[in-house]
Amino acid sequence: LWRGPLPSQATMSARLRHDPRVAALLTAVEQAREVTGGSPALDCVKTIDGKPLPVGGYSHDPDSRWGKALRSFQRGYKLFAVWGRSRMPLAWRVAPLNVSEQAMAQEMLPELAGDGGYVLGDKLYDINKLYDAAAAVGHQLVADRKRAGKGLGHCRHSPARLRALELLGTKFGRELYVLRDRIERRFASLTNYGG
């Protein structure tokens, strides 16, 4: 049990950035938590999304930013995650609220391990470069169309995007895409759990 004052926020931030022992401790905690959650290599269906984490309007937090959150503008952060069946996300980041989900997805998708599978995302992820990033690590991104009912236009489209559009037109694809809401329950458990 800790006795004495806790380290200041500045000290903790410096330790997180510069002390390899702290990074090793965090990695060990994640791995210990993962042991009871199932193997990431067995996850063939993964979900990707972002969850706004607003701070108070009068907060003086210098790292938080204004950004779009739940049909309004708020100040705070956003948790970005790729989740499979396990208790811990397969990849995750926390960034200011003004950072786009597409930019974070491009960082996290290369971290996916295993034998491939599907990555389910909402309409924000329906861009060619994310389909290519997922395909580069053996995954098929499946995201609903940004502009449903419109044509594809005349620009080049990723073969993985065309495959996803074809997949969403099948019964299997529609049933697969229903599983996307699993990540919403994960985020709700993290942020709304009373225990």
pLDDT per residue as tens digits for the range 124-168: 999 999 999 999 999 999 999 987 777 777 788 999 999 999 999
Within 8 A by CB and 6+ apart from 182, the residues are: 47, 83
Res. 68: pLDDT tops 70 = yes
CA distance 132 to 193: 36
The whole-model pTM stands at: 0.78
Local structure of residue 8 (DSSP, 8 states): P
CA distance 177 to 188: 19
2: pLDDT confidence band, cut at 50, 70 and 90? low
Percentage of residues of the chain with pLDDT beyond 70: 92
Residue 127 CB: number of other CB atoms within 10 A? 18
Bridge partners of 109, per DSSP, are: none
- CA-closest candidate to residue 119, choices 107, 135, 103: 135
**Predicted pLDDT of residue 36:** 47
